[in-house]
Amino acid sequence: MLDPHLLRSDLPRIIKALAKKGHVFDETRYNTLEQERKALQQETEVLQQQRNQLSKEVGQYKAKQQDASALLAEVHKVTETLKAKSASCQAVQETLQDFCLRLPNLPHDSVPNGNSETDNVEIRHWGKIKAFDFPVADHTDITVGLGMCSFDRAVKIAGSRYMVLERELAALHRSLIQFMIDTHTEQHDYNEVYVPYLVKEACLYGTGALPKMREDLYAVEGEPASYLIPTAEVPVTNLLREEIVPYEQLPVKYVAHTPCFRSEAGSYGKDTKGIIRQHQFEKVELVQFVHAEKSYEALEALCGHAETILQKLDLPYRVVNLCGGDLSFSSAKTYDIEVWLPSQNTYREISSCSNFEAFQARRCKIRTRAPQEKKPQLVHTLNGSGLAVGRTLVAIIENYQQADGSVMIPAALQPYMRGKTHIHMPK
């Protein structure tokens, strides 16, 4: 959520910055609501003063045993008017709050201009793209050919865009999760957490998933309303909700493995085949809470932590700086890490590493207090996939495919696979 004081004091800059994200700010609507709020707030303050003064006079009359009936009638009249004005003021404030909740975060100055992913800027690339001496197969054909992945059986169970993994492929999927968590906890100093997969509506508002992404979420019937998580970012960020984190404890760094659930609304026709885009998938998520002045330094480090996984797996990738038009609702700056997929002859996103600055912390009321400061300050939050497990599995299957249809297991994962070096079709 944007700073309301900034909206009131520097609106032209806000409008210009949001335009970089493709957001058209309704200035007339905002000014009308803000003027109504200000006027009603002033009127309620005047009425409160009047009521207090009249109540004081009533007390004085009673102390002198004088008739205060006329004053009591005036107090009642002012009180009723105050109730009506307060209700109107609250209604306007709620409407204004809803307006502000729909405003995306401001992009950082280093975010490039652009409208779509074609305008993203490559920062660096790593690894050597392998030249195959046989026809390259798609991951779907390889997994089905191995007899260890079934999309048809998943359809019987849950519908389209789900999968069933078996034997060594299921083990490889599990090994990837363990490998990622071990790397981030042992080498990058993250604290592993296990979190609920259902969250309250307020938690989704806290990270900015609501109201923007409502159609992409799976709601669960009941009171209060709850939702299946679209990413571990939601429950993990809300771990520190409404807390003042001791200054010396920052940065706080969490890693969590969870399933993620998304309806993929609006993505019809995109990646309908295979594992790339599913309704249920796994991620290992990295979340950081840091001092405001250190958040961009932390973003570089966090992105490096995600890159480490790909380097250990020897998977070629590139890092791109997302343009304004491709940034997510809550992000101030995002690096996408894209892994090379031979069958598509292109790089595909496998992680987004984002700095949200104070946007989420303001919504979740996550603060800290510097030793020299009297008032608490908002922390900055960051997160990134470290990595998306299904897409990492796809990248391994395609980049490590062999001419006989088998898949070589990366050396870093072989200890997790009981020393196996290849996945072959069962005899």
User: Tokens standing for 112?
Assistant: 């490039």
Strands 252-261 and 191-192: parallel
Q: Is residue 391 flagged as an active site residue? A: yes
Q: Is residue 277 flagged as an active site residue? A: yes
Q: How far apart are CA 231 and CA 220, in angstroms?
A: 16
Q: Is residue 367 flagged as an active site residue? A: no
Q: Distances in Å between the alpha carbon of 410 and those of 172, 181, 349? A: 10, 17, 20
262, 362, 363, 367: the catalytic one is 262
Task: Give me the residues paired with residue 290 across strands.
Answer: 380
C-alpha triplet 323, 382, 322: angle, nearest 5°:
10
Q: Distances in Å between the alpha carbon of 69 and those of 60, 83, 281, 356? A: 13, 21, 70, 58
241, 277, 348, 369: the catalytic one is 277
Q: Is residue 13 flagged as an active site residue? A: no
- Residue in the structure block whose two tokens are 């993994």: 165
343, 352, 354, 385: the catalytic one is 352
User: Tokens standing for 344?
Assistant: 């598509």
161, 362, 367, 391: the catalytic one is 391
Helix axes 389-399, 139-146, angle to 10 degrees: 80
Three-state secondary structure string covering 158-183: CCCCCCEECHHHHHHHHHHHHHHHHH
Q: How far apart are CA 213 and CA 415, in angstroms?
A: 40
34, 36, 43, 349: the catalytic one is 349
Q: Is residue 352 flagged as an active site residue? A: yes
Catalytic (active-site) positions: 262, 277, 349, 352, 391
